[in-house]
Amino acid sequence: MSKSSTPKSHVLNAKSASESLKSILRTNPWEGADHFEIIPASAVASLVIDIVICVEQICEAVDKLASLVNFVPCELLHSGTVQPISDINGSVHIVTVSE
């Protein structure tokens, strides 16, 4: 398995968008609007903000797990070839890695 840094940039973008959304909601952009129109939009905005927080926590947990199991850098994974081999009845699979 390999440890990737790609999710971190996506989480940072999501956090930035979430903060922008919070800022917009604080400025009360719906002044004078019907409350029945505001409630669904604010509920969705609140859920999106909560989802971003949960995704950030999941990414942190995955990073911690990856460091505990010593995932290798991606560069090392692509240095050899992988050839799956199965036995006669196909129930056992052996993976041979060669360089």
Each residue of 2-50: pLDDT tens digit? 566 677 888 889 999 999 988 888 887 778 888 888 888 889 999 999 9
DSSP assignment of 35-87, as one string? HHHHHHHHHHHHHHHHHHHHHHHHHHHHHHHHHHTTPBPHHHHTTSEEEEEE-
Average pLDDT over residues 61-90: 64
d(CA 60, CA 58): 5
pTM of the model: 0.59
Q: For position 5, what pLDDT does the model report?
A: 63
42-69: pLDDT as tens digits: 899 999 999 999 999 998 888 888 778 7
